[in-house]
């Protein structure tokens, strides 16, 4: 097939053409003058034609110059003769009042502007050829992509569980993620499957709408059969009766989906991640917990709440333990007058450490050991759900005594931290260790000292703290 565009460009050069901001300009010095004209186009073929046309017009002699040549009996060029004939003929016609027929007028116009008409036709032919090429490219792309879209989506939906299980194995074996992360991924899949139907296509539009829909669902949606057995449209009718999922949780699900589809891209199951341009929601700022006042501590420890919860509060006050650390503490971890935190899950904020036992909680610990028959100090089984439920129960009891949303069981840890800071002469590293804060960037402590601490320094610090209630 003859390619007119490429042949035309090869026959021409870009002399007298300058390009600025994607627009071509005609630029030429002539008769001691610099002529510069904007061609108002970025199309090179079109601008080459305009350039040639301009040069021809600039080089064409004036009628006065041609008439002087005739008077001096000089030989005329073809262009000069055409110019003289055309102008003289028109003047003679006007003088003799000759009226041309429409056909004669058209023939005269076609003859006079023959070159301009041919140039215009070439330009239109070029533009038409360009449009046809673009149209062919678009059609080709549509033929290549459109038939594949639906089968890929159908294949992904039909094998979603298989691909997701492979994703979990990949995260577990290669990224070494925690069990908590794997549980989070599974939870996200549960929500994803809730919104999938036979017409679902995994694209940007679907996940953008999914993000909005998640914001409308109840917190812990799948725990309530009165909601999760209904369609989404049926559920939102009860929106005024439940607390909706917060933005932080929605963002967590969207991040999990993005990780999953990144894996599918990596495995070449899909070509592009549809969540790449999904923006995260603005999360609510976490409320900073405050410590209890002396008066509030007196109210707590002189209240009538169950002994088990009072023991939890007292041990936390003198050790700075988080609620998860305290509730997963085993009886065997209490030995040599110390509490040994040897936690298996290193991915959480909890850190392995030794805390000397303060004299004010020795009896409390012994009492609690006898009260609970299991291996743990407070629970029969320290499963994630049991720890969570126990934490909620103690906070509900504390809230009844001190009705302040910025104060909870975690506030006791703040009381411990402030007492260590204000009323002991301990080193900064000792304080940090007792609080269970990370030493990951402390090369001396982690690499050379291998995380070991001077037990006497720890014991001395603990013995200096005291609470009156």
If asked whether residues 365 and 431 sit together in one domain, one would say yes
How high is the pLDDT of residue 390? 93
Task: Give φ, ψ of 14 to 5 degrees.
Answer: -105, 25
Please check whether residue 152 lies inside any domain of the structure.
Answer: no
If asked whether residues 257 and 324 sit together in one domain, one would say no
On the question of pLDDT at 408 being above 60, the answer is yes
Q: Point out which residues pair with 304 in neighbouring strands.
A: none
Please check whether residue 213 lies inside any domain of the structure.
Answer: yes
If asked whether residues 102 and 176 sit together in one domain, one would say no
Percent of the chain whose predicted confidence (pLDDT) is above 90: 43
Please check whether residue 362 lies inside any domain of the structure.
Answer: yes
If asked whether residues 179 and 318 sit together in one domain, one would say no
- Measured distance CA(94)–CA(92) in Å, rounded: 5
- Provide the domain limits for residue 393: 294-464
If asked whether residues 355 and 433 sit together in one domain, one would say yes
Residue 16 backbone zone (phi > 0: left; psi -120 to 50: alpha; other: beta): left
If asked whether residues 255 and 299 sit together in one domain, one would say no
How high is the pLDDT of residue 440? 56
Top pLDDT among 382 and 79 is at 382
Please check whether residue 208 lies inside any domain of the structure.
Answer: yes
CATH code, 346:
1.10.443.10
**151-170: pLDDT as tens digits:** 556 678 889 999 999 999 99
How high is the pLDDT of residue 97? 43
Please check whether residue 132 lies inside any domain of the structure.
Answer: no
Domain stop point among 67, 97, 119:
119
Task: Give φ, ψ of 329 to 5 degrees.
Answer: -75, 130
**94-122: pLDDT as tens digits:** 444 445 456 655 665 565 566 666 766 76
How many structural domains is the chain composed of?
Answer: 3
Give me the mean pLDDT over the 232-239 stretch. 91
If asked whether residues 64 and 206 sit together in one domain, one would say no
If asked whether residues 115 and 173 sit together in one domain, one would say no
* Contacting residues for 208 by C-beta, under 8 A, at least 6 apart: 278
How high is the pLDDT of residue 216? 94
Please check whether residue 75 lies inside any domain of the structure.
Answer: yes
On the question of pLDDT at 343 being above 80, the answer is no
Domain stop point among 266, 285, 318:
266
On the question of pLDDT at 299 being above 90, the answer is yes
If asked whether residues 197 and 345 sit together in one domain, one would say no
Say which range, 175-179, 300-304, 354-358, has the weakest mean pLDDT.
175-179
Residue 357: pLDDT band (50, 70, 90) is very high
Residue 145: pLDDT band (50, 70, 90) is very low
If asked whether residues 259 and 302 sit together in one domain, one would say no
């Amino acid at each position: 097939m003859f390619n007119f565009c490429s042949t035309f460009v090869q026959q021409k050069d870009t002399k007298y053409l300058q390009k600025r901001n994607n627009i071509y300009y005609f630029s030429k010095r002539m008769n001691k003058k610099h002529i510069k004209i904007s061609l108002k186009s970025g199309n090179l073929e079109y601008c080459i034609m305009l350039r040639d046309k301009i040069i021809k017009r600039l080089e064409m002699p004036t009628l006065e110059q041609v008439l002087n040549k005739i008077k001096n009996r000089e030989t005329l060029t073809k262009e000069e003769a055409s110019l003289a004939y055309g102008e003289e003929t028109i003047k003679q016609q006007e003088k003799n009042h000759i009226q041309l027929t429409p056909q004669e007028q058209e023939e005269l116009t076609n003859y006079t502007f023959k070159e301009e008409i041919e140039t215009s036709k070439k330009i239109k032919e070029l533009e038409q050829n360009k449009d046809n090429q673009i149209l062919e490219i678009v059609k080709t792309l549509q033929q290549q992509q459109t038939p594949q879209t639906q089968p890929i989506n159908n294949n992904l939906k039909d094998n979603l569980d298989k691909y997701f299980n492979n994703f979990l194995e990949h995260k577990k074996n290669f990224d070494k993620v925690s069990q908590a992360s794997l549980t989070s991924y599974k939870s996200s899949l549960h929500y994803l499957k809730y919104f999938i139907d036979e017409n679902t296509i995994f694209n940007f539009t679907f996940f953008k709408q999914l993000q909005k829909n998640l914001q409308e669902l109840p917190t812990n949606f799948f725990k309530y059969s009165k909601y999760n057995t209904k369609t989404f449209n049926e559920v939102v009718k009860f929106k005024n009766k439940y607390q909706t999922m917060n933005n932080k949780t929605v963002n967590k699900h969207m991040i999990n989906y993005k990780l999953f589809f990144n894996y599918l891209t990596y495995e070449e199951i899909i070509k592009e991640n549809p969540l790449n341009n999904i923006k995260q929601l603005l999360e609510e700022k976490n409320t900073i917990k405050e410590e209890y006042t002396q008066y509030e501590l007196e109210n707590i420890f002189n209240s009538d709440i169950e002994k088990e919860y009072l023991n939890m509060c007292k041990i936390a006050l003198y050790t700075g333990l988080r609620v998860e650390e305290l509730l997963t503490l085993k009886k065997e971890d209490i030995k040599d007058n110390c509490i040994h935190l040897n936690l298996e899950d290193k991915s959480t904020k909890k850190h392995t450490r030794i805390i000397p036992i303060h004299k004010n909680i020795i009896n409390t610990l012994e009492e609690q050991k006898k009260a609970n028959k299991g291996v743990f100090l407070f629970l029969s089984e320290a499963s994630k759900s049991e720890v969570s439920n126990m934490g909620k129960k103690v906070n509900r009891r504390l809230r009844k005594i001190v009705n302040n949303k910025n104060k909870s069981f975690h506030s006791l840890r703040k009381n411990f931290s402030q007492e260590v800071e204000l009323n002991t002469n301990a080193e900064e590293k000792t304080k940090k260790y007792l609080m269970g804060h990370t030493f990951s960037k402390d090369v001396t402590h982690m690499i050379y000292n291998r995380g070991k601490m001077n037990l006497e320094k720890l014991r001395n610090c603990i013995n200096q703290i005291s609470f009156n209630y």
